[in-house]
Amino acid sequence: MIPELSDRTRGWLRFVWEKATTPDDWSSRGAPLAWWDQESLAPMCVFPRWDLSESAAILPVLCDLTPAWREVYTRIADELVGRHTTFWAAIDWLTFIGPQRDWDSAPPEWITFLPQRLRGRRYYGTAWVANGVEPWGLQPDPVGADGNLFFRGFFNFMLSVYRYVSGDGKWERPFQVTGYQERRFPWTHRNVAEFIYLQWKEQPQGAFCENTKIFPFCLSAAGLGLQLYDGVAGTRFHGVYGAWVEFAKKYYLVRDRSGRLRMFPIYYDPVADEICGFPDPFCAFAALVTAHYVIPQAPEFGTYLYEEAVRKLGWSDPSKPVVNALPDPRFLTTGLLCARELGDETTRKRLGRYAEDHFDPRWFGDENDRFGWWFGLHEPYPRGQQSALLMLCEAGEPGAWSRPFRAPNLRKFSEPTVEGIDYPNLGVRQAWNDPEEGVLHVGVCAQTPSRQGRPTAFRVTRLPDDAVVSIRCDGAPFARWRIVSGGTIEIETDIREHRFRIAMRAHEGTALRAGRGAAAALGGGSGEESAASAGAVHAGGAQQAPRPYVPEPAAVSCACCKPGGI
Partner 1 sequence: MDLRPAKSMLLRILLWTLGAVMALASRWSRRFRAQLARDLIVEVRTDDGVARHFIFRNRRVSSRSGSASSPDCALCFATAWQGFRALTAWNPAGRIYDGLLNETVRLEGRTPLLPWFAFLQAAILPLGPRIRLPRTPPGAYTQPAASPAVDRFITREPAADELDPEWTAAHNQRAKLRFTRAYKGKPPPLF
Q: Which of residues 63-102 bind partner 1 (CB under 8 A)?
A: 87-88, 91-92, 94-99, 102
Total interface residues for partner 1 by CB under 8 A: 106
Instruction: Using the minimum distance from each CB to partner 1, give the nearer residue, 214 or 489.
Output: 214
- 3-class secondary structure per residue, 457-502: EEEEECCCCCEEEEEEECCEECCCEEEEECCEEEEEEECCCEEEEE
Instruction: Using the minimum distance from each CB to partner 1, give the nearer residue, 102 or 436.
Output: 102
Q: Is 546 in the site for partner 1 (CB under 8 A)?
A: no
Cα separation, 49 vs 30, whole angstroms: 15
Instruction: Determine which residue in the list 6, 31, 419, 485 makes contact with partner 1, applying CB under 8 A.
Output: 31
Instruction: Determine which residue in the list 229, 268, 364, 500 makes contact with partner 1, applying CB under 8 A.
Output: 268
Question: Does residue 92 sit in helix, strand or coil?
Answer: helix
Instruction: Using the minimum distance from each CB to partner 1, give the nearer residue, 195 or 413.
Output: 195
Instruction: Using the minimum distance from each CB to partner 1, give the nearer residue, 113 or 481.
Output: 113
Q: Specify the DSSP element, H or E, that contains 429.
A: strand 426-434
Beta strands in 203-309 (DSSP E): 254-255, 261-263, 267-269, 274-276
Task: Decide: 100 and 128 in contact? Cβ < 8 Å.
Answer: yes
Q: Is 375 in the site for partner 1 (CB under 8 A)?
A: yes
Contact map string, positions 480 to 519, toward partner 1, x by CB under 8 A:
----------------------------------------
Instruction: Determine which residue in the list 1, 23, 29, 545 makes contact with partner 1, applying CB under 8 A.
Output: 29
Q: Is 203 in the site for partner 1 (CB under 8 A)?
A: yes
Q: Is 119 in the site for partner 1 (CB under 8 A)?
A: yes
The least CB distance from residue 397 to partner 1, in Å, is 29
Q: Is 212 in the site for partner 1 (CB under 8 A)?
A: yes
Residues 305-334, interacting with partner 1 (CB under 8 A)? 313-314, 320-321, 323, 325-330
Instruction: Using the minimum distance from each CB to partner 1, give the nearer residue, 386 or 402.
Output: 386
Closest CA to 151 of 96, 112, 76: 96
Task: Kindly tell me the sign of the dihedral angle through the C-alpha atoms of 167, 168, 174, 177.
Answer: negative
Q: Is 127 in the site for partner 1 (CB under 8 A)?
A: yes
Cα separation, 157 vs 80, whole angstroms: 11
Cα separation, 381 vs 362, whole angstroms: 11
Instruction: Determine which residue in the list 7, 8, 24, 144 makes contact with partner 1, applying CB under 8 A.
Output: 144
Cα separation, 565 vs 563, whole angstroms: 5
- DSSP 8-state symbol, 227: H
Q: Is 34 in the site for partner 1 (CB under 8 A)?
A: no
Question: Does residue 445 sit in helix, strand or coil?
Answer: strand
Instruction: Determine which residue in the list 2, 25, 111, 465 makes contact with partner 1, applying CB under 8 A.
Output: 111
Q: Specify the DSSP element, H or E, that contains 394.
A: helix 384-394
Q: Is 524 in the site for partner 1 (CB under 8 A)?
A: no
Cα separation, 470 vs 531, whole angstroms: 10
Instruction: Determine which residue in the list 6, 22, 188, 199 makes contact with partner 1, applying CB under 8 A.
Output: 199
Instruction: Determine which residue in the list 1, 23, 135, 548 makes contact with partner 1, applying CB under 8 A.
Output: 135
**Residues contacting residue 299 through CB under 8 Å, at least 6 positions apart:** 402
Given the rule CB under 8 A, which of 61-69, 279-287, 366-374, 548-556 is the region that contacts partner 1? 279-287
Question: Does residue 9 sit in helix, strand or coil?
Answer: helix
Given the rule CB under 8 A, which of 12-20, 137-145, 290-298, 474-482 is the region that contacts partner 1? 137-145
- DSSP 8-state symbol, 247: H
The least CB distance from residue 307 to partner 1, in Å, is 18
The least CB distance from residue 83 to partner 1, in Å, is 15
Q: List Cα–Cα distances, 189 to 127, 148, 154, 304, 409, in angstroms.
A: 26, 17, 12, 32, 20
Q: Is 378 in the site for partner 1 (CB under 8 A)?
A: no
- DSSP 8-state symbol, 418: E
Q: Tell me the one-letter amino acid at 189.
A: H
Question: Does residue 378 sit in helix, strand or coil?
Answer: coil
Instruction: Using the minimum distance from each CB to partner 1, give the nearer residue, 146 or 466.
Output: 146
Instruction: Determine which residue in the list 4, 24, 43, 167 makes contact with partner 1, applying CB under 8 A.
Output: 43
Instruction: Determine which residue in the list 28, 235, 303, 409 makes contact with partner 1, applying CB under 8 A.
Output: 28
Cα separation, 335 vs 389, whole angstroms: 11
Q: Is 38 in the site for partner 1 (CB under 8 A)?
A: yes
Q: Specify the DSSP element, H or E, that contains 313.
A: helix 299-313
Q: Is 475 in the site for partner 1 (CB under 8 A)?
A: no
Instruction: Determine which residue in the list 5, 145, 471, 536 makes contact with partner 1, applying CB under 8 A.
Output: 145
Cα separation, 512 vs 50, whole angstroms: 46
Contact map string, positions 176 to 195, toward partner 1, x by CB under 8 A:
---xxxx--x-----x---x
Q: How many CB atoms lie within 10 A of CB 236?
A: 10
Question: Does residue 345 sit in helix, strand or coil?
Answer: helix
Cα separation, 301 vs 307, whole angstroms: 10
Instruction: Using the minimum distance from each CB to partner 1, give the nearer residue, 105 or 258.
Output: 105
Closest CA to 296 of 197, 224, 388: 224
Instruction: Determine which residue in the list 1, 23, 173, 202 makes contact with partner 1, applying CB under 8 A.
Output: 202
Q: How many CB atoms lie within 10 A of CB 250?
A: 8
The least CB distance from residue 258 to partner 1, in Å, is 16
Q: Is 54 in the site for partner 1 (CB under 8 A)?
A: no
Q: Is 436 in the site for partner 1 (CB under 8 A)?
A: no
Instruction: Determine which residue in the list 157, 171, 208, 500 makes contact with partner 1, applying CB under 8 A.
Output: 208
Instruction: Determine which residue in the list 105, 475, 523, 531 makes contact with partner 1, applying CB under 8 A.
Output: 105
Q: Is 242 in the site for partner 1 (CB under 8 A)?
A: no
Max alpha carbon distance in the chain (Å)? 85
Residues 385-424, interacting with partner 1 (CB under 8 A)? 386
Q: Is 141 in the site for partner 1 (CB under 8 A)?
A: yes
Q: Is 280 in the site for partner 1 (CB under 8 A)?
A: yes
Given the rule CB under 8 A, which of 2-10, 57-65, 103-111, 540-548 is the region that contacts partner 1? 103-111
- DSSP 8-state symbol, 553: P
